[in-house]
Amino acid sequence: MTGSEMFRGRTGRIAWLWVGAVSVLLIACSPSEPPPAGEEAAPPPAEYARDEATRTAPVDEERPGAAAAAHGIDAVPARRTLVIEGVNVVATDEPRVDTGRTVVVRDGRITQVGAAGEVDAPDDALRIDGSGRYLVPGLAEMHGHLPGAGADPEHTANILFLYVANGITLVRGMQGHESQLRVREAIEAGEMLGPRLVLGSPAQGWGNTPEADEAAARVREYHEAGYDLVKIGEGPDPETFDIIIETAREVGLPVGGHVPDEVGIERSMEAGIVTIDHLDNYLEALVPEEYRADIAPLWGVASVAEHFDTARIPTLAELTVERDVAQVPTMVLWEIFFGDRSGETLRAEMDETRYWPAEMVDNWVEGVAARHEAIGHPEGASRVVDTRRDVFRALHEAGATFLLGTDSPQLFSVPGFMQHREMALWVELGMTPWEVIHAGTRAVAEHFGEADESGAVCEGCRADLVLLEANPLDDIEHFTRRAGVVVDGRWLPESEIQARLEAIAGAAQAGR
C-alpha cells in the first residue's frame, strides 16, 4: 500500500497541528524536535515566554474558535459565491497558462472553469476582476510546527493568518497533540480562519521513543485518535521502527519525518517511509562506517564532513526515486543552522520578523548563536551546506518527488513568509518556477491521493486559490505579489490581508 493509499484509507478529515508543551519550549533551539534521548530538556527559552505566561490565563481548549473570538480576533469571513473573471489560470499538470478564463466558486468548491461565454455566472456572485492577473492553487506547507495546548489564542490565530496571508492553504503538522483535534474541528466548522490541515502524531523518537513491545499499541492509539500519519523521529531502533511501519500499514497510516540513525536511510526507504524531511541522514550515509559512531543526532554531521564520500550521492538519489520517497528538504532553515550569518544579520535581512513577537525574535538571535556554538566545526558546517545543495540537485536531476515545506515557525522562519524564501532557493538550485509551484500544489495532492480534488484550478477542486498580479512562471518572486487569497471558498482581498498584517505587526512590536 502506498502512502497515498494509506492516507485515502483514513476518514478524509484534515487536521491542524499544535505542538505539545515540550516541543513548544524547544522550537527556539532545535528543529522543533525534542532533545536526543538521554539529554535533559532545556528550561523554557525566552522565545516562548509569551505563550508560557498565558498558560495560566483562562483558555477554552474545548472551543478554540470561541477563545480566539474572545481575544478580539476578527470573525471568519463567510463563504460566498465568487466569479473571478478574465483571469489567466496557471496549470499544475504541465507548464502552461490558460488565458482569459472565468472561474466560479460556490460552497468552497470550484464549480466552473471556462471562457467567459461558456460560464454561467450567478447574478448574486461577488465578481473579482482577474484581467491581467494569474490564478494558482494555494500552496502547501508540508512540515509545520505550531503552538500547543494553552497557548495565547491571539498568537495562535495570528500564526494561522500568517500562513493564509502568504497563500499557504494547507499545512501538514509534524508534531501532534490531542488538543489539535479540537482546533481541527473549529477550522472545519468555520469558527477559525486557517489553512487546510493534515495532522501528524506525536513524534516517535527522542524522549517519546516507544519500546518495541508498546510500539504497535501506540500506533493503533494514534489511528483511533484521528491522526493522519505517524511522525517518526530520532530514537527507534530497527526492531521498533519495523513494528511502527508494519502496524501503521495495517491501520492505513503513512509514516514520515526523520530517519532514525540506527535504522539508516536505505532501510527506512525500503521499509516504506513516505517522506524524508530535512534531507535527514543523506549526509550521514556519505560517511564511511568507521566514522558514523562519532555523529551526534542532527547536528553532529559537521564534525565528520571531511569524510563525506560524495560519489555515493547519485546512488542514494536513484534509490530515492526507485522507492518513491518524497522529499521535504527545508533548505533555508538548515542553512540558518549550519550557515555563518549571525542572528542580528538575519534580523536585519528578514523584515517579516516584525510580524513575530519581539521577545521571541530576541530569543531567535540568541538561539542562532547557541546553535552555531553547539554545531562547532565552521569549516565542516560550511561543507554541510554545500553538500546538502549537491544532494538536492542530484535528487532533482534523478526525478525525485519534492514537496514544499519549511519547518516553521523556527529560528527566523516566520510562518508563510519562509515559504517564499524556500521557493526562491529552490529556483537558485536549478528548479524552474513551475517545478517549485508543482511541488507545493499538484505534487502534494498526488501524495495524498486526491489529484482530482485539490492542487489545481479545476472543476470540483477545493477553492483554495491565490490571485497574483504577475505571472509566477516568469519569476517565482511574483508569488509574493498577491491580489488576494481564497481559502475554503472565503475571499480575502489583499487590502484586508495587509490591514490584518499591520495589526499583527503592531501587536508583535508593542513590547519593544
3-state secondary structure labels for all residues of 83-142: EEEEEEEECCCCCCEEEEEEEEEECCEEEEEEEHHHCCCCCCCEEEECCCCEEEECEEEE
Tell whether 441 is covered by a domain: yes
pLDDT-derived band of residue 12, with 50, 70 and 90 as boundaries? very low
Tell whether 232 is covered by a domain: yes
Task: Count other C-beta atoms under 10 Å from residue 247's C-beta.
Answer: 20
Sequence-separated (6 or more) residues with CB below 8 Å from residue 25: 41, 42, 43, 44, 45, 48, 52
What 8-state DSSP symbol labels residue 441?
A: T
Tell whether 320 is covered by a domain: yes
Domain count, the chain: 1
Tell whether 58 is covered by a domain: yes
Kind plus residue range of the DSSP H or E element containing 172: strand 168-173
Report the pLDDT value the prediction gives residue 26, as an integer from 0 to 100: 31
Report the pLDDT value the prediction gives residue 382, as an integer from 0 to 100: 98
Tell whether 47 is covered by a domain: yes
Tell whether 124 is covered by a domain: no
Tell me: pLDDT of 214 over 90: yes
Could you give the residue ranges of the DSSP H alpha helices within 166-230? 179-188, 212-225
Taking Cα atoms as reference points, which of 52, 137, 139 lies closest to residue 415?
Answer: 139
Report the pLDDT value the prediction gives residue 185, as an integer from 0 to 100: 84
- Residue keyed to cell 505550531: 146
Q: What is the mean pLDDT of the chain?
A: 87
pTM of the model: 0.88
* Least confident among 9-18, 53-62, 159-168, 455-464: 9-18
Tell whether 370 is covered by a domain: yes
The CATH number for 54's domain is 3.20.20.140
Report the pLDDT value the prediction gives residue 341, as an integer from 0 to 100: 97
Cα(443)–Cα(474) distance, rounded to whole angstroms? 20
Cα(272)–Cα(1) distance, rounded to whole angstroms? 9
Beta partners for residue 88, in sequence order: 134
Tell me: pLDDT of 57 over 90: no
What's the domain range around 288? 3-76+136-447+462-508
Q: Are strands 482-487 and 490-493 parallel, antiparallel or unpaired?
A: antiparallel
Report the pLDDT value the prediction gives residue 59, as an integer from 0 to 100: 47
Phi then psi for 466, rounded to 5 degrees?
-130, 125
Tell whether 311 is covered by a domain: yes
The sheet that has 275-277: what strands, in order across it? Answer: 230-232, 255-257, 275-277, 326-328
Beta partners for residue 87, in sequence order: 101
335-381 pLDDT, tens digit per residue, is: 999 999 999 999 999 999 999 999 999 999 999 999 999 999 999 99
